[in-house]
Amino acid sequence: MTFLPVETQMETLREGLEEIYTEEALCDKLEASRREGRPLRVKQGFDPTAPDIHLGHTVGLCVLRRFQDLGHQVVVIVGDFTALVGDPSGRNKTRPRLTREEILSNAETYREQFSRVLDPERTEVRFNGDWFAEMDFAGILELSSRFTVARMMERDDFHKRYTEGRPISVHEFLYPLMQGYDSVEIRADVEIGATEQTFNLLAARHIQKEYGMEPQVALTFPVLTGLDGVQRMSKSLGNYVGVTDAPEDMYGKVMSIPDELMPEWYRMVSGLGAEAMREALEGLEAGGNPLERKDALAAAIVGRFHTPEAVTEARAHFDRVVRRKESPDEVPVAEVPANAEGVPIANLLKETGLAPSTSEARRLVKGGGVQVDDSKWTDPQSRIPAEPGTEIRLKVGKRRFLRVRFGGGSV
């Protein structure tokens, strides 16, 4: 197989990256790849902690796609076992643990979502449960012996939690070791990850050397800020745009971001070409109407994952429902079993899919973002009357509507 000159490849790969550990090592690997006619194996891992891949994930997926376009092999790790531990990166407390059933249910959707950015023909999808499910306790002890506690405590989030007296569970120490062992199993030449993953990526280099392998090159890219404009985009924080979101939801979410986020989102997730990107950023610097700039950003993002017709319909939906505060033309209907004692509002939001979790539903209600038949409800403990044959209309935020009929059947 013939590859482009190393410097030509490097010009493509440097785009949008934060750090390369190290650039010299990457050049050496690319040169060996050209000499041997062998594609590099380029890895990124995703833990299926929720069923949706979001825009933050696409930043890394686009880096992987550039490797594919240069002729290299992408290996996507679906972390069905690392998700049981929970990545502690950037966390000030231990993650809540998911059940294996929840994780596998979420993972079912990932392969199709990867294909929205990656070339499926050049994407190898592996589940790390393939090797960790077979690893016995002796193997865990062997892996754990390859890393010191002192090295682990160099990690910023662990060090901060320890000095502030917040608990660190022993199982959290396993996460970077498991991520590193993934690189051993699939013989990774390169691994990419967000900047918050730097410790894990470098730990993998150490683990590979411990198992007698040439260490991978680690590439980091910036973390995308979420819808709130404060914290990183995260499934568990609920401040994300899913790549499978309906066009009107995707458009409306983008229109809700703070104005100061627009340059970052244009650069990282708009999908615009170099010339269109330059014009967009120059337009932001020049001022003007921020709504027009945000509309163009929302249209670009919706257009990446949906059709041009969907962009037009999403824009019209936003104008009608949000700007003119009219009801949408079609409101979906959910059939929910009747209950003489009423249904807790937070449970109803979770069961009908208007909130990803009961805790998020409670937050939405407390924040005044939920209306029942045009009346705002702010007590998450309150119950909605659910007599047989009755119907209510739910509104969550500015854009989500649902009619609920109580009687029989299921949601």
| Whether residue 92 has pLDDT greater than 50 | no
pTM of the model: 0.75
Q: Which amino acid appears at position 163 of this protein? A: T
Q: What is the pLDDT of residue 389?
A: 80
- 226 with 55: CB under 8 angstroms? no
- Condensed to tens digits (0 to 9), the pLDDT of residues 366-408 reads 888 888 887 888 888 888 888 888 888 888 877 778 888 888 5
Listed range (218-232, 246-260, 346-360) with the worst mean pLDDT: 346-360
H/E segment holding residue 293:
helix 290-305
Query: DSSP letters of 107-126?
Result: HTTHHHHHTTTS-GGGEEEE
How far CA 70 is from CA of 66, 178, 215, in Å, comes to 6, 29, 21
Q: What is the pLDDT of residue 322?
A: 78
Identify the band that residue 45 occupies on the pLDDT scale cut at 50, 70 and 90.
Answer: very high
- Condensed to tens digits (0 to 9), the pLDDT of residues 268-300 reads 999 988 899 989 898 888 877 888 999 999 999
Identify the band that residue 49 occupies on the pLDDT scale cut at 50, 70 and 90.
Answer: confident
Closest CA to 124 of 45, 224, 241: 45
Q: Which tokens is 108 given?
A: 């079912």
Listed range (128-142, 160-174, 300-314) with the worst mean pLDDT: 160-174
Strand partners, 194: 221
Strand partners, 392: 404
Q: Return d(Cα 206, Cα 393) in angstroms, integer.
A: 56
